[in-house]
Structure 1
Amino acid sequence: MDVSFANFLQDVMSNPVLLITVVMTLGVIFVNGWTDAPNAIATCITTRCMNARTAILMSAVFNFLGVLIMTQINSSVASTISNMVDFGGNTHEALIALCAALFSIVVYSVGASYFGIPTSESHSLIAGLTGAAIAMHNGVDGVNMSEWIKVIYGLVLSLALGFVIGWILCKLLTVICANMNRRKTDRFFRGAEIFGAAAMSFMHGAQDGQKFIGVLFLGVAFSNGESSVSGVVIPIWLMLLCSAVMGVGTSVGGERIIKSVGMDMVRLEKYQGFAADLSAAVCLLLSSLFGIPVSTTHTKTSAIMGVGAVKRLSAINFGVVKDMMLTWVFTFPGCGLISFAMAKLFMAIF
């Protein structure tokens, strides 16, 4: 399959359904930058280590580097997403179903963002793909459970490991710095937190960038009559396109999420922000190396809760945590049902 930029443009211009799919995919990436990518830089901004404009620019750069470098090292996250469902042998219907899945993610994520609640585009994507596959097969035959079970692993890993590493690292820093000069440690942790935010942005690109590249690749494959993207090398132009759109999304609508994650849930000091960022980045790195798709939102928020719990559990605003949890709980049935309905509608229309 030819994945050059020139051939891609030709395919898009000659296939209206592919054009809609590409627009929807870029829309989802934009929404991801709007509602998900701000998690990576939230603590860095709210602890005043960087201003918002500089942090957003840094986030866009490291998101791109994360996609570029980690895809060269290990692209198994993209493969997991691509192989999670089987849309069947009819590639035209498969492309329509993929478009419906992407539509459901945009609708659901924009609705949650209106209330300032971080969403998991990872789980929205998985739910959307699953709902569309069920609509095509009129049952669960199109769901690859051996790949889908990795989602459950990722859910448990992101919650438990993020919290535990966050607690351990923050506790360790508290002990080490107990008798140090506060002004000097603040100066050190200002730079350390910028490093942590860059690491989080890098790993966000490595995780979420790969997921959406995998989906966009599926769309291109379907338009060319191919049912899979096995063995196809991801081109750099596609990585750059996804990273640029994600960066624009962050710059346009990330303020609410930054406030919700970085201030409303737990009030953090600089060393705590560094501990949360580094803990979440380590968790995302381990997940990426093992090809497990996880939610960067889940990982970052659980790390923040672990850090907050070092002082006392009451430091955590459980009202905000409950709102986030309810959003995540409703993501699978919500996106899945929207995707199922839209897949049926789109197949009837097209």
Structure 2
Amino acid sequence: METSIFVLGIVIFLALAFDFINGFHDTANAIATSVSTRALKPRVAILMAAAMNFLGAITFTGVAKTIGGSVADPAALDNGIQVVIAALLAAIIWNLVTWWFGIPSSSSHALIGALTGAVFVGAGAGYVKWEGFISILKVLIFSPLIAFAIGYIIMTVLKWIFAKRSPHNVNKGFRTMQILTAAIQAFTHGTNDAQKAMGIITFALVTSEFQDTLDVPLWVKLSAATAMALGTSIGGYKIIKTMGTKIFKIEPINGFAADMAGASVIFSATILHMPVSTTHAITSALLGVGSAKRVSEVKWSVAGRIIITWFITIPISGLLAGLIFKILF
């Protein structure tokens, strides 16, 4: 029992480390536009995002249950703890690599890919719940397309409404409104992303027979929410720079449109209990808004590099998790 508790402690530490890294890796998702338009100072924006992420994280648990039971049945795995350790190590490594290069990749893709790869190698293909994996994959694929479309529509409508207004006055008003939309975006980020670590910890608790259901204990909710909030408080300035300045020149009205589009997709996924890539949703919303503003202004070479990272994250994370499992176990 002592060994089991010790190993479980390692899993919990790694899961919270993933959540912490997810926090500073994905901080840019919520605040990049408000920082780039000077609606908020970076430090103020980061602290606000940390508080709203924490609040969002403790409010919902549906995504955690999906993560905990849709890719594999934790109760059916004899080596579930080892599988989780390999998956978390792979996801953490990929997050750190993409953060180092300032690429806004998906923590969700990394975790789902890593968990699937670890189960595949550690237990066998028969233990992967392919139907659940494919349902998650569909949401991860289609949510960026929906976010792009919503961003494009919102920006097109705003252009039509404010076409004859003074650009200076319009942007002054939307700069103030961006404070609210940044807070909303950070809240929705917490409702979805923090639950991924909660789901992994709950997966480990079930596979270790410390509990029988995928219900998330209160201490897990508070721990994951705190880890993400602390990570968010550090901030990922490299990714903030990419999101806020390198895709296209963002004005307050553009930032408002992108924030609303991204937040609507993320929160809809949370209500449906589905994990979604907050990075993909917000980046795609930015691309949609930029295209509505003027297609030629979008730096498609930067967007292309981001999109490539989206496609390679799941297979690379899966292969990395399988390799780590083989090496360690």
Look up the SS of the partner of 2:314 in the other structure.
helix
- State the superposition RMSD in angstroms: 2.0
Counterpart of 1:151, as a letter, is I
Does the aligned pair in 1 maintain the 2:52–2:190 contact within 8 Å? yes
The one-character-per-residue Cα deviations of 1:303-341 (angstroms, maximum 9, x if unpaired) are: 000100113212111111111122122211211111112
Deviations 1:227-266 (A, max 9, x none): x533x2541x433322322233233351000000111011
Percent of counterpart pairs with the same letter?
A: 35
Q: Which residue of the other structure, out of 158, 181, 184, is the alignment partner of 2:169?
A: 184
Q: Which residue of 1 aligns with 2:179?
A: 194
Once the two structures are TM-superposed, the CA of residue 90 in structure 1 deviates from its matched residue by: 6.7
Give the 3 Å change call, closer, same or farther, for CA 22–319 of structure 1 in structure 2: same
Distance 1:205 1:88 in 2: 24
Distance 1:223 1:88, change over 3 A: closer
The aligned counterpart of 1:116 is 102
Task: Give the SS at the match of 1:37.
Answer: helix
* Deviation (angstroms), 1:297: 0.6
Corresponding residue of 1:68: 58
In structure 1, runs of 5+ residues without a counterpart are: 1-10
- 150-159 or 21-30, which deviates more: 150-159
Matched, 1:224 2:209: yes
Corresponding residue for residue 3 of structure 1: none
Is structure 2 residue 72 aligned with structure 1 residue 86?
A: yes
Aligned counterpart, 1:6:
none
Structure-2 residue corresponding to 1:32: 22
Separation (CA, whole Å) in 2 of partners of 1:288 and 1:244: 19
Which residues in structure 2 correspond to 1:249-264 (within 5 Å)? 249-264=231-246
CA 321–114 in structure 1, closer or farther in 2 if over 3 Å, else same: same
Alignment of 1:77-226 (within 5 A): 77-86=63-72, 93-138=79-124, 140-226=125-211
Give the stretch that moved more between structures: 329-338 or 301-310.
Answer: 329-338
Q: Which amino acid counterpart does residue 324 of structure 2 have in structure 1?
A: M
Contact 2:74 2:207 in 1 (8 A): no
Superposition map of 1:315-334 within 5 A: 315-334=297-316
Would you say the 8 A contact 1:218–1:229 is kept in 2? no
Matched residue count = 329
Q: Aligned equivalents of 1:97 and 1:167: distance in 2?
A: 41
Give, as a single letter, the amino acid of the residue that structure 1 aligns with 2:109: H
Q: Which residue in 2 is equivalent to 1:242? A: 224
- Over 3 Å counting, the alpha-carbon distance change for 1:12 and 1:169 in structure 2 is farther
TM-score (norm 2): 0.93
Query: Take 2:158 and 2:268, find their aligned partners in 1: how far apart are those partners?
Result: 22
With over 3 angstroms needed to count, the CA separation of the structure-2 counterparts of 1:88 and 1:207, relative to structure 1, is: closer
Distance 2:308 2:208 in 1: 37
User: Corresponding residue for 1:281?
Assistant: 263
TM-score, length basis structure 1? 0.88
Post-superposition, which runs of at least 4 consecutive aligned residues in structure 1 deviate over 6 A? 11-14
Q: State the distance in 1 between where 2:190 and 2:179 align.
A: 17
Residue range with higher mean Cα deviation, 151-160 or 126-135: 151-160
User: Contact 2:47–2:232 at 8 Å: present in 1 too?
Assistant: no
Q: Report the alpha carbon displacement of residue 155 of structure 1 after superposing the two structures with TM.
A: 2.5
What's the CA shift for 1:152?
A: 2.6
